[in-house]
Chains A and B, each alone.
Chain A
Amino acid sequence: MLTAVLLFLPLAAALLLLLTKGATARALALGASLIEFGLAVYTAFAFKNSGAAGFDLNYSWIPSAGINFHLGLDGLSLLLVLLTTFLVPLILLSAFKRDFDNPTAFYALVLFMQTGLLGVFTSLDAFLFYFFWEVALIPIYFLAGAWGGERRVAITLKFFLYTVVGSLLMLAGFVYLYLQTGPAAGSLAAHSSELSAFYSLKLSAAEQSWLFWLIFAAFAVKMPIFPFHTWQPDTYTDAPAPATMLLSGIMLKMGIYGTMRWLLPVVPLGVSQWQKPVIILSVIGIIYGAIIAIRQRDVKRLIAYSSLSHVGLMAAGVFSLTATGLQGTVVQMLAHGVNVVGMFFIADAIERRTGTRYIPDLGGLTRRTPVLSVCFLVMLLSTVALPLTGGFVGEFLLLAGVYQYNAWVGAVAGLTIIFSAVYLLRMFQRVMLGPDSAFSETITDLTGSELLVLVPLIALVFWIGLFPNSFLHLAEPAVASILEVVARGR
């Protein structure tokens, strides 16, 4: 029951929101998302950690086709639910300062999307998963399209086509798997789309080989890993800041989560066939993203490419198929979510004050904005993976995992830390320090409400960095059970 409330509360709030206007809508949206976060925290305390899914909720959804409305939470799902419910209030809060038309629709769409995201992270039925996967996509299309920058029409169309084509391929894969379950009877009701039914399928290596790409297409686009990433920098740059935070902070995790839950254990033989190419692609993405980031002169674009680089490492960690790598991915999903949301928030704060994101136009901002500088630096150093920050724990485990897979690949992947230090510190130096610019005298420091967004983020950065075990112990049994299914299938 708790799971259902958790899932549908944002949706109900979104519908309610449409009846209200202005400040009421704003307060209602924030209130609902905070209650939602409270619920998620309560769930985390009530959660009994074992490998299996808890908080099970299973209704027959389409009986004539054997499809169930099946939700459940294990440690992995729970962490992502926590991340989502934690970030959404902050993202809503970050939109308060923005001056845009029809804010009611904006907040309603964000809440609507939250339901989609939570559905993705808790579904235990393939069609339900696909259903929520697409549900999460519709609001972001409108969020990015309606409130975005100048080139929004072309860019959101590209984004939408990319992701939907990926999703359709995944659906085709799921339908194939679904028809392999149960007896080969004529009726659809004889089949099952349960995750567990998919796990126990015995498929030949050849089948798994192409199924791998059908299913992986959707995840690869959404993360995105090289070379499926071409929508990402444009969309991140042109979408309004809150939408970018949703995309990079949470939506990207759908891809990684999907890979862990719906790809590795379902087609383990396909994974072992394609493990090497995918890891190589990921490592190319790491280096490629980093090198391009060095050349960027737009703050948002730089962060977008940096995110591409960091996602590459997460993908490599997942495909290393080691417990360390997967654990690292889980922690890094949280840390990256927090970091990237913080970075985009700060980039947006600077842009709102100066009207530009162009790095050469900025400079010498730090004198008038000590608080902003400190916050920026913390977020930045966590992204660079400085010890004691969340980024460090994640990247360390990831690199250790990739190293276990292959020392050379690990060494190349490790370059990400050096590169990100290069481009991020350079950006900091140019924007915050450096020679004075037109804005150095006029810029104002962070306001209280902006700190309300950043302080929780910073707190979490240090929490993950100092006490990673509070998250690792949640992820451990889930990761172990995923790897066990993978090992059984190989």
Chain B
Amino acid sequence: MTSIILLSVFGIVNLFLGFLRSNKVLLPGAMLLLLAVFGANYADWNSEPASYFNHMLVVDHYTVAFTGIVLLTAIVLLPFSRSYVVSGEPNLAEYYALLLFSLVGAIMMIGYDHLLMLFVGIEILSISMYVLAGSSKRDSRSNEAALKYFLMGAFATGILLFGVALLYGATGTFALSQLAAAVAAPANASLQPMLYIGILMMIIGIGFKVSAAPFHFWTPDVYEGTPTFFTAFMSTVVKTAGFAAFLKLLAVALPAAQGFWMPTIQAMCALTLLLGNVGAAAQDSPKRMLAYSSVSHAGYLLIGLVASKGVLKGEAASAIFFYSLAYSIATVASFGVLKLVNDHRQNDSYAGLNGLGRTNPLLAFVMTVAMLSLAGIPLTGGFFGKFFLLAAAVGQGYIGLVVFAVIMSMVGLYYYLRPLIAMYLRPADENATPVPVDGIQSATLVVLALLTIILGIAPGFLSGLL
């Protein structure tokens, strides 16, 4: 709870910092504010689970843990906004304020105990994202991305809200615990179809936000057009918060309707894995590849939802937590490197990475670790993320799905190797100069690579956290 209050206050403080007309203050300022929020969130870990706003928001280990991922992601992402500082971007204070506000939305999505809180959280997060997607005003692709994201997002929001309304109609409540009871023992059996349509609509709405197939079609275009810095934010924070919300919805409110949502989620999962991986393999730009790869990771996380079988505590939830963390770190690292390289080389195809191993060994190394992690190769957090998810699913008997996921991750190997091949095995342009990287950026990249490796060597201290 402290973190929500602090973030809201700090967002406003940040706007006032903008009056100083000096971008140099903003980055360290935002960084310090976020670190303070991270500390406040950590302090919540040991306190008793607490309920706020008339039981609309609950702060327990689940909330604190996922909030931790979201905040950490934002902290390690900030240094890559340096180019905005340097270029004297006039709206930087607003961008940072929007980021801070969007984190409030993310935390509400994670900690909600009431469907309206979920809806408000999703909207706070999404509206910030619509604006940020179009933040590069003079770039027509950015404008297109923002418009596309906004139209599709508004549509999905409508569906989600309709689902919430139908759920309310069928059960007479918005509160998760009461929903669970009402779904398990319906007062009026004739309302059952309404309930199911409501559930389906909610799945569609959230499925859109986490870009799960078949609601993923906006992802590649929006990711491509959005400035890379915000793409990284979009593909990590939104996804983590989305899955935390998704798991909570299914496991806390709807375990009794498992017979209905389980086949739906399974089908979505298989489709997402297929379209994400095959789509990523067909791309010619690393940014679009990462967009499709983020779709495929939604597929792996959906396996976690399947394996949860409607239980919030336990292996599947821990696996989703661990996977989100490993995925977020690796994604921030890869988008970070990509942003630095693209800013300098102005070439967003794979060829833009050519010879990076020679000109910038550090960037190439971090990118390598990130790619290996996303591909799920041992020594990286991504390996244990996949391992925990798949083991949880096998433990629940979903062998077919797991076999399919393993086959799909073999496809994944192909496209995650392509940046590596470009960086190490292809020569750079003759007049290629090293990509300039400043101290804090390289420090952040090193931290990200180290975190990925630590998660890959000693996952024990986080795997049983929830």
Q: Which residues of A contact B (CB under 8 A)?
A: 60-65, 127, 130-131, 133-135, 138, 142, 145-146, 152-153, 156-157, 160-161, 164-165, 168-169, 171-172, 175-176, 178-179, 186-189
Contact = CB atoms under 8 A, between A and B. Distances in A.
5 contacts: A64-B463, A130-B378, A134-B377, A157-B417, A175-B391
A156 B463 contact: no
Report whether over half of chain A's contact residues are helix, strand or loop; otherwise say mixed. helix
7 A-B pairs closest in CB distance: A64-B464, A134-B378, A62-B460, A131-B378, A64-B463, A153-B425, A145-B425
Interface string B384-395: 100110111011
Given A61-B460, A168-B406, A175-B390, 14 more contacts: A62-B460, A64-B463, A127-B387, A134-B378, A134-B383, A135-B379, A138-B372, A138-B377, A161-B413, A165-B410, A179-B395, A186-B315, A187-B314, A188-B395
A175 B388 CA distance: 10
Nearest to B456: A131
A186 B379 contact: no
B300 to A, nearest CB: 14
B315 A187 contact: yes
Given A61-B460, A64-B318, A188-B392, A160 B378 contact: no
Contacts of B67: none
Contacts, number: 84
Contacts of B425: 145-146, 152-153, 156
Interface of B: 314-315, 318, 357, 372, 377-379, 383-384, 387-388, 390-392, 394-395, 402-403, 406, 409-410, 413-414, 417, 421, 424-426, 458-460, 463-464
B379 A179 contact: no
A161 B414 contact: yes
Given A130-B378, A138-B377, A186 B314 contact: yes
Contacts of B395: 179, 186, 188
Contacts of B458: 61
Given A64-B318, A178-B391, A153 B426 contact: yes
Given A146-B357, A152-B425, A160-B417, A134 B460 contact: no
Report whether over half of chain B's contact residues are helix, strand or loop; otherwise say mixed. helix
B379 A172 contact: no
Nearest to A59: B460
B460 A142 contact: no
B351 to A, nearest CB: 13
Contacts of B392: 188
Nearest to A185: B395
Nearest to A184: B395
A189 B403 CA distance: 23
Contact of B378 (A63, A135, A153): A135
B382 to A, nearest CB: 12
Contacts of A153: 421, 425-426
A146 to B, nearest CB: 5
Nearest to B315: A188
Nearest to A61: B460
A238 B108 CA distance: 56
A179 B307 CA distance: 15
A362 B298 CA distance: 58
Given A64-B460, A134-B379, A186-B395, A172 B424 contact: no
A178 B421 CA distance: 35
B421 A157 contact: yes
Given A62-B463, A131-B378, A134-B379, A175 B414 contact: no
Contacts of A127: 387
Contacts of A171: 387, 406
A135 B372 CA distance: 11
A62 B459 contact: yes
B424 A175 contact: no
A172 B410 contact: no
Contacts of B318: 64
Nearest to B319: A188
A131 B417 contact: no
A153 B422 CA distance: 9
Contacts of A63: 460, 464
Contacts of A164: 377, 410, 413
Contact of B406 (A61, A172, A189): A172
A134 B391 CA distance: 19
Nearest to A63: B460
A173 B414 CA distance: 22
A146 B314 CA distance: 44
Nearest to B414: A161
A130 B376 CA distance: 13
Contacts of A165: 410, 413
A175 B383 CA distance: 13
A162 to B, nearest CB: 11
A60 B409 CA distance: 28
B58 to A, nearest CB: 24
A168 B409 contact: yes
B391 A179 contact: yes
Most chain B CB within a 10 A radius of its CB, from A65, A133, A168: A65
Contacts of B377: 134, 138, 164
B421 A145 contact: yes
Contacts of A176: 394
A188 B409 CA distance: 23
A53 B284 CA distance: 51
A169 B409 CA distance: 11
Contacts of B464: 63-64, 189
Contact of A142 (B314, B379, B424, B459): B424
A168 B387 CA distance: 11
Contacts of A133: 378
Contacts of A168: 406, 409-410
A188 B410 contact: no
A160 B417 CA distance: 9
Contacts of A187: 314-315
A32 to B, nearest CB: 20
Contacts of A178: 391
Most chain B CB within a 10 A radius of its CB, from A62, A127, A157: A62
Nearest to A142: B424
A178 B402 CA distance: 15
